Amino acid sequence: MNVNPGLPPTNGDDATRLTGTSFAVLTLIELLGPSTPYDLKQALERSIANFWMVPHTTFYAEPTRLVKGSFLSEQQEAGGRRRKVYSLTDAGRDALDRWRSSPELTPPQLREEGVLKIFAGGDPIPIFRERCDWHRAKLAELEGYLEAVSGDDPAWNGVRSSLQVGVAYNRMMLEAMERFLESQAASGTP
């Protein structure tokens, strides 16, 4: 049971090993151009984190690993904070291309405490009500992002598509739970 799926189920190779998090970093640098870790963190939290969550400490560490595998190159800012700026190398671009155009996918993974509680015998009604609120908020958030990228630069096509997927997903979840709650309310007061 692989909980932390990367690309190959670890080819044992070591510094060459690329996880989903690696590709998240590579993709963002391709989109944004040379970036500092903080640029990446900001962008991540408004986009990828919605379907591929990464804690910020892991995220700050990832570029360092990718430099070691020479998928990224690193420059130092001249003045100010002298922050590190990362760019894609050819190897990085290649790896990204190969991954992106391969049809292989690791299984989707859900961690849903609500269903866990229902399994354990918890009352579904308050659980679904909580979740409805959450999905409503998420839906509003994603619709906001979607408006923010509403140009037609083809480089952002994927970004727009994934946001549309997210909107559709949350709307579906929300409607399904609302239907359930209504049906319960109806059968509760006959």
Partner DNA sequence: CGGCTATAGTACGACCCGTACTATACAGAT
Partner DNA sequence: ATCTGTATAGTACGGGTCGTACTATAGCCG
With H, G, I as helix, E, B as strand and everything else as coil, classify residue 88. strand
Contact present, 86 and 29 (Cβ < 8 Å):
yes
Contact present, 166 and 50 (Cβ < 8 Å):
yes
- Reference 60, options 25, 88, 11; nearest CA is 25
Q: 145 is written with which tokens? A: 């992002």
Q: What is the largest CA-CA distance in the chain?
A: 73
Which of positions 148-167 make contact with a second copy (CB under 8 A)? 155, 157-159, 161-162, 165-166
CA distance 172 to 127: 17
Site string for DNA, 17-36 (x = CB under 7 A): x-x-x--------------x
Among 116, 140, 148, 185, contact with a second copy (rule: CB under 8 A): 116
Residue 87 touches DNA, criterion: CB under 7 A: no
Q: How far is the CB of 179 from DNA (least distance, A)?
A: 31
Among 33, 58, 175, 179, contact with DNA (rule: CB under 7 A): 58
Among 26, 43, 48, 54, contact with DNA (rule: CB under 7 A): 54
Q: What residue type is 116 in one-letter code?
A: L
| Binding site partner of 42, from a second copy, DNA, none, Cβ cut-off 5-8 A by kind | DNA
Using the rule CB under 7 A, give the single segment among 59-67, 94-102, 148-156, 182-190 that binds DNA. Answer: 59-67
Q: Give 24 or 65: the residue with its C-beta nearer to a second copy.
A: 24
Contact present, 134 and 113 (Cβ < 8 Å):
no
Using the rule CB under 8 A, give the single segment among 79-87, 119-127, 145-153, 182-190 that binds a second copy. Answer: 119-127
* 173 Cβ contact partners less than 8 Å away, ≥ 6 residues apart: 131, 135
CA distance 64 to 72: 9
- Chain residues binding a second copy by CB under 8 A are 1-3, 5, 20, 23-24, 27, 30, 45, 47-56, 96, 99-101, 103-124, 126-127, 129-131, 134, 155, 157-159, 161-162, 165-166, 168, 172, 176
